[in-house]
Structure 1
Amino acid sequence: MIETVYKQENALPAVLRAFAISLAFALFGLIAGVFVPPALILPLVMVEIGMLLFAFFLRRRKSISYTFLFTFTFISGITTYPVISYYLVSMGANLVLAAVGTTFIVFTGLAIYATTTKRDFSFLGGFLMAALLALISIGLFNFFFPLSSGGMLAYSFIGVLVFSGFVLYDFNRMKQMGVSPEEVPTMALNLYLDILNLFLSILRIFGILSSND
């Protein structure tokens, strides 16, 4: 029992290392996205969604592999490139960098708080999953019936709250329950999705506010 707890505690730095490497692969994918034809972006998005669904159902039986993690984040970087490119053109590099900096500050602050507080945020799990499903549903609705700028702003602020909650929940869960070595890639994927969606929500807010000025 003591040995198991020891291994779980030692796996926490491994999650952060895998998470950092995941961000590096996403950055490589972002750079590669410059050279990917626009016609391939949608098929890659479908592959990305398929991998997410596979990972969601796989987690009930076993954890994902590092190969799966890094492949997914690389593809995610490619599919994120058109979004970043759009905001670079419409907002300028300074606002995009401001969104990156804001995301880093929020993510790091929440991570530190979640791993140092004595509070248990496990109660957030069900609420966050319901909120995520609601965000997905609204996102699909927006695809067919675009929201107004005010509606999209509200949607983006809710996204910031939801994914901030996921950051709290995931880091706090690792602190409360520990992480086995087999779970490291899965937890790193969770953190990657947290920060990516937090960033995209903040980027949308900056974009809407800048367009209204």
Structure 2
Amino acid sequence: MENRLTTMTRQEASVLSTNKVIRNTYMLLSMTLAFSAVTAGASMALGLPHPGIILTLIGYFGLLFLTTRFRNSSLGVLFVFALTGFMGFTLGPIVSKYLAMPNGTQIVMQAMAGTAVIFLGLSAYALTSRKDFSFMGGFLFVGMLVAFLAGLGAVFFSIPALSLTVSAAFVLLMSGLILYETSNIIHGGETNYVMATVSLYVSIYNLFTSLLHLLGFMNDD
């Protein structure tokens, strides 16, 4: 009887801990998305140029390293905002470029709506079904590595067809990452809401920019 009560107590504690991680993750994610939108808007209003692929990668991986290093302290939250703010800053010039296109406003709104529908739909499915998507981890890691390298090749060698293929691949990979990370939180595989927030933010950012690229191509006369 005592062992049974102990087991029930542990299960209840685990559920409470998981719910806390989910709550903190989505709260921090909503704040970082809002902050990222502000920095993107400021970048657009000031007409700032894109920093370029090299500086973007240095800034991203540098801030990601600091966020990971201090993920268990209050500094981790500070670096999350620094990372997402920086990514918003890099997003501003990209959005400005699409807004300058014919039907640019429609393209950007469609990309935003598509990103929201995919993220909310997949998150809701993972939360309600409570299916374990941990089996996708290895595939997603390899897929993102290959897509990232292919994306760099498309940029440096100016191969439009490869760039479009990479964007389509990233839409699928980021959708998978949303399912994987949400499932990871539910089943206790991710207990740090700072890192969970970073993973979901990166999924949303890449999903949005990939949809922008695809929609921009389809609307380009």
1:8–1:178 contact (8 Å) kept in structure 2: no
Residue 79 of structure 1, CA deviation: 0.8
Which one-letter code corresponds to 1:189 in the other structure? Answer: V
Alignment partner of 1:75 is 2:86: yes
Which one-letter code corresponds to 2:105 in the other structure? Answer: A
Q: Whose RCO is larger (CA < 8 A, sep 6+)?
A: 1
Alignment partner of 1:190 is 2:199: yes
Alignment partner of 1:9 is 2:22: no
Residue 151 of structure 1, CA deviation: 3.1
Q: Could you tell me which residue of structure 2 aligns to residue 84 of structure 1?
A: 95
Instruction: Select the residue among 111, 123, 128 that pairs with 1:111.
Output: 123
The secondary structure found in structure 1 opposite 2:108 is helix
Alignment partner of 1:99 is 2:111: yes
Alignment partner of 1:32 is 2:27: no
TM-score w.r.t. the length of structure 2 is 0.84
Which one-letter code corresponds to 2:59 in the other structure? Answer: V
Identity %: 30
Alignment partner of 1:162 is 2:157: no
The secondary structure found in structure 2 opposite 1:78 is helix
Residue 185 of structure 1, CA deviation: 1.4
Deviations, residues 154-211 of structure 1 (Å, cap 9, x unaligned): 221111000000011011111111654xx11111111110101011111111011111
Cα distance in 2 between the residues matched to 1:70 and 1:133? 25
Q: Could you tell me which residue of structure 2 aligns to residue 120 of structure 1?
A: 132
Residue 135 of structure 1, CA deviation: 1.1
Which one-letter code corresponds to 1:207 in the other structure? Answer: G
Alignment partner of 1:51 is 2:83: no
Q: Could you tell me which residue of structure 2 aligns to residue 202 of structure 1?
A: 211
Q: Which moved more, 1:85-94 or 1:30-39?
A: 30-39
The secondary structure found in structure 2 opposite 1:38 is coil
Q: What residue ranges of structure 1 are gaps of 5+ in the alignment?
A: none
Cα distance in 2 between the residues matched to 1:185 and 1:166? 16
Cα distance in 1 between the residues matched to 2:99 and 2:147? 25
Distance 1:162 1:178, change over 3 A: closer
The count of aligned residue pairs is: 206
2:39–2:89 contact (8 Å) kept in structure 1: yes
Q: Which moved more, 1:43-52 or 1:15-24?
A: 43-52
Residue 44 of structure 1, CA deviation: 5.5
- Aligned-residue RMSD, C-alpha: 2.3
Deviations, residues 62-82 of structure 1 (Å, cap 9, x unaligned): 577110111111111111111
Cα distance in 1 between the residues matched to 2:101 and 2:16? 50
Which one-letter code corresponds to 2:184 in the other structure? Answer: R
Q: What residue ranges of structure 2 are gaps of 5+ in the alignment?
A: 1-9
